[in-house]
Structure 1
Amino acid sequence: MSAISNNAGGCLYLIPNFIGTLPWEYQFPEHNKRIIRSLRYFIAEDLKACRNLLKQAEYPDISQAKIEEYNEHFFDKDISYLLQPLNDGHSVGLISESGVPVLADPGDDIVKLAHQKNIPVVPLIGASAVLLSVMSAGLNGNNFAFNGYLPVEKSEKIRKMKELEQLSFHKKQAQFFIETPYRNQKLFSILLQILQSTTLLSLACNLLNDNPFILTKTVADWKKLPIPDIHKKPCIFGILKM
């Protein structure tokens, strides 16, 4: 397979996908539809989610779209073939399963390779659960970190949560993280047990759905409230020790 040239002529579009059930106009500009319909080659984290996005973008004939799958199962493998269409002057769209590519999703290796090959990278506007949670938390939008998933093992999870709490205090830096949705309720209970009473804890759940839940309270105040139903619902947690 020949190397990708530096003057391929096409570009790599980073295309956001739906993060909730609300329709297109709540999540993306119409411009995204025009870009998607102009492309033939796509790299998708999830094939079904990609085809659904193409359908919502009114793609003329999805059967003619050339879609290559790329997710965590492809890490540490040669991915240069994914950008091969750029050799022939074709642009390529990178599509997440949900939200924006690369941010808490696979794809950074593809973007890095594009930069190495001097391929233009064009991010498109779209909904991001991470950014929406930072915006709505009221913690520190000027200094924050997104930490992805916490460790699965309980003792390691607790150690990491305490570490993030101290980091948020010493750096005045809001710390955001996520959990597998069916573990949300258990994580929330652990947070109430181990965090300091004055630490701010933010929940942003079911964003861009019909029933979103967004609330920031101190741990002490959370303990006075009914336990929110966040089981099996996409949720982003944020903390800031005061």
Structure 2
Amino acid sequence: MTRTYLVTGSASGIGAATADLLAAQGHRVIGVDMHDADIVADLTTHEGRAALVEHARDLSGGTIDAVIANAGLATESTATVAVNYFGALATLDCLRPLLAGSSAPRAVATASMASLFPVDDELVDACLAHDEPAALHRAKELLDEGAGGLIYSSTKRALVRWIRRSAATDEWAGSGIPLNGVAPGIIRTPMTATYTATEESRKAVLDMVPMPLNGIAEAETVAHLIAYLTSVENTHLCGQVVFIDGGSDVVIRGESTW
């Protein structure tokens, strides 16, 4: 059965691998990115998010079978907050009405194992309060304080908490939409190129993100997981954040599941 998928961040990395895999399976894929995509949109802005919804409605004919909110940044910047949390939520929430026409609607967001790292609670709380001005302001304060390294992990922590809060609600599970997330470890993509280019850099990043099972992964590995989570076969996974990280979650958290 041919399905229609929308994938943000489709021009490179996990998004490109997912779009390619789904297309190879015979599905229709609507790619969204800042360039080289069916929909060119800047998810850091309200205008870009509105354009995404408008063009998605037009290109899909009003029905999408699965939304994959994959676009993200890993820079120490306010833009990382705007894309990773508020852009992801806008993608999922604003496109949810287009899932209503599908017989098997699905939704997935790309988080990160970095959600296990230290975070800034004030930034996480501002995100979860859906207060974008406050979140951007706090991110700017962190940058001024030399603590910009907390921004990425904070956005991903907020995102996984939103998934857990939202998945079992009437809007998602009650409407027959499995909402889940994936939490990759170090994946060989343009975003991580500086960490994976040399043996020395790979050793350094794996000291921080231990991946005892097969080490650094290819983007296609995550794409296959996303493809399952958004497939017709996935009928009961609800609010799960699946760590596809070569074991870093296990090393860091041990036997704890929380």
Question: Which of 1 and 2 has greater Rg?
Answer: 1
Relative contact order: is structure 1 or structure 2 higher (C-alpha 8 Å, sep ≥ 6)?
A: 1
More helix by proportion, 1 or 2? Answer: 2
More strand by proportion, 1 or 2? Answer: 1
Bin for the TM-score computed over the shorter chain: 0.3 to 0.5
TM-score (norm 1): 0.36
TM-score (norm 2): 0.34
